[in-house]
Amino acid sequence: MMSPLPDAQVNEALRLRAILQMTKAGLALLAGREPDVPIPHGEAISSLEYLAQIRGTIFTTTEGVPMVSGVATLDVAIYMPVIVRHILPIKQLRLANGTAVSGNFDLGIYDSDAEGLPRTRLVSTGSTTQSGTGDIQLVDISTISLAAGLYYLASAIDNATAQTLRILVAISTAFTSADIIHSLDGVFEEAGAFPLPTTATPVQLTSIRAAPLMYAGRHQF
């Protein structure tokens, strides 16, 4: 019977295995393939992540404080930027419902154009009945794989009664008259956009918006 390996040798073997896995993942990404190494089961991207990165925090006295509120304007799509840092399969879109549910919502993912604006819809839930107060509503979609890059999580709701967990987003600004239209925090809107359009026509925010908290991920959590 073989004697067990000393702890030092076991730890070294585990370290080398981890290095090998990271190397394989890096080579796969360079080749444009999804790494064949484990990815956390519940991995997801959130509509708040980018705001947290550019602000340093999402919690300020006037903006970024999660809240439950009604929809300010129905049929207005809100485009929230997200950064994907490695190949990520998406199988579900999720909406954080508030204390009242009503009507229908549409959630989607858009790619970005050369100027970094939301452009083409890659996937969406389509018009979906909101259900489950105070719950994360999960909607299965056809699986897509996102490469590293800038994307937008989009949401639109067809009524002014539905509530979701939301974050206030500041009114937009153009940095110079010659510059492209920008929104503070990189968030855009589009009126008359329920259900979500195939091609986005984003404009700067026309007022402070309450953007729904939503997720895109691989599995239920």
- pLDDT tens digits, residue range 84-93? 888 889 999 9
Residue 87 is part of which domain span?
Answer: 44-217
Q: What is the pLDDT of residue 164?
A: 86
Domain tally for the chain? 2
- pLDDT tens digits, residue range 90-146? 999 999 888 889 999 999 999 999 988 999 999 999 999 999 988 889 999 999 999
Asked whether residue 16 falls in the same domain as residue 90, the answer is no
Phi first, then psi, for residue 34 (nearest 5°) are -75, 135
Asked whether residue 61 falls in the same domain as residue 165, the answer is yes
Question: Is the CB of residue 163 less than 8 Å from the CB of residue 99?
Answer: yes
Q: How confident is the model at residue 36 (pLDDT cuts 50, 70, 90)?
A: very low
What are the residues facing 67 on neighbouring strands? 166
Asked whether residue 119 falls in the same domain as residue 203, the answer is yes
Asked whether residue 63 falls in the same domain as residue 170, the answer is yes
Q: Can you give the CATH number for the domain in which 180 is found?
A: 2.60.120
Asked whether residue 33 falls in the same domain as residue 54, the answer is no
Asked whether residue 119 falls in the same domain as residue 179, the answer is yes
Question: Is the CB of residue 138 less than 8 Å from the CB of residue 22?
Answer: no
Asked whether residue 31 falls in the same domain as residue 48, the answer is no
Asked whether residue 97 falls in the same domain as residue 148, the answer is yes
Mean pLDDT of the chain: 74
- pLDDT tens digits, residue range 192-216? 999 999 999 998 877 777 778 888 9
Asked whether residue 149 falls in the same domain as residue 59, the answer is yes
Asked whether residue 81 falls in the same domain as residue 190, the answer is yes
Asked whether residue 28 falls in the same domain as residue 74, the answer is no
Burial class (CB in 10 A: 0-12, 13-18, 19+), 124: buried
Q: How far apart are CA 124 and CA 142, in angstroms?
A: 9
pTM of structure: 0.73
Asked whether residue 89 falls in the same domain as residue 194, the answer is yes
Question: Is the CB of residue 64 less than 8 Å from the CB of residue 208?
Answer: no
Q: How confident is the model at residue 51 (pLDDT cuts 50, 70, 90)?
A: low
Of 8-12, 95-99, 101-105, 174-178, least confident by mean pLDDT is 174-178
